[in-house]
Amino acid sequence: MFDKIDHIGVAVSDLEKTIKFYRDQIGLDFKGTEVVEEQKVKVAFFPVGESKMEFLEPTEQGSPVGKFIEKKGEGVHHLAFRVDNLEAKLEQLKAQGIELIDEKPRYGAGGARIAFLHPRSTGGILVELCER
Ligand code: ZN
């Protein structure tokens, strides 16, 4: 089951500036930041209704989000769907021939368990499945 869009991940090169803009000028509710070592990003959370905006600043050059910004510039990085049984969903998608980046769940921001599907299989969008 895909319950909802859990969050939209946006790659940015200056998180402080981004926080100031979305908090002070757009007026979104700012819920703090977290460094996710495994993905080498610092993440800022802004809930919007049942979903969230997550802004991702690379903590190292050459990290996945750092490379993304180098290649494509800042912008929407991934779309995350909430699922209720991540392992089962991954098995099912793999059986359907969908290309997975992560065959096993890994740690994501906010204590979620996440896995990415390859954009080659998803119409050019990096899709994250997210279980909370
Ligand atoms: Zn995400």
Q: Identify the residue with better confidence: 111 or 69.
A: 69
Question: What is the predicted pLDDT for the residue at 111?
Answer: 86
- In the chain, how many domains are there? 1
- Tell me, in angstroms, the distance from the centre of ligand 1 to residue 109's CA: 7
Give the Å distances, CA to CA, from 68 to 63, 72, 92: 8, 6, 28
Tokens at residue 85, please? 């049984």
Cα 93 to ligand 1 centre (Å): 19
Q: Which domain range does residue 12 map to? A: 4-131
**Can you tell me the distance from the alpha carbon of 100 to that of 118, in angstroms, rounded to the nearest whole number?**
5
pLDDT class for 41, splitting at 50, 70, 90? very high
d(CA 96, ligand 1 centre) in Å: 23
Predicted local distance difference test score (pLDDT) of residue 110: 84
Over pLDDT 70: what percentage of the chain? Answer: 99
- Distance (Å) from CA 33 to ligand 1 centroid: 13
CATH number at residue 75: 3.10.180.10
**What is the chain's mean pLDDT, rounded?**
95
Distance (Å, whole) CA 97 – CA 121: 9
Label residue 1 by pLDDT band (50, 70, 90).
low
Cα of 126 from ligand 1 centre, angstroms: 10
Task: Dump pLDDT digits (tens) for 53-92.
Answer: 999 999 998 999 999 999 999 999 999 999 999 999 999 9
What is the CA(82)–ligand 1 centre distance, in A?
A: 10
The predicted structure's pLDDT at residue 27: 97
Q: In this prediction, what percent of the chain has a pLDDT beyond 90?
A: 92
Residue burial 55-84, b: 16+ Cβ < 10 Å; e: rest:
bbbbbeeeebbbebbeeeebeebbebbbbe
Alpha helices in 4-85 (DSSP H): 15-20, 64-72
Residue 103 in tokens: 């065959």
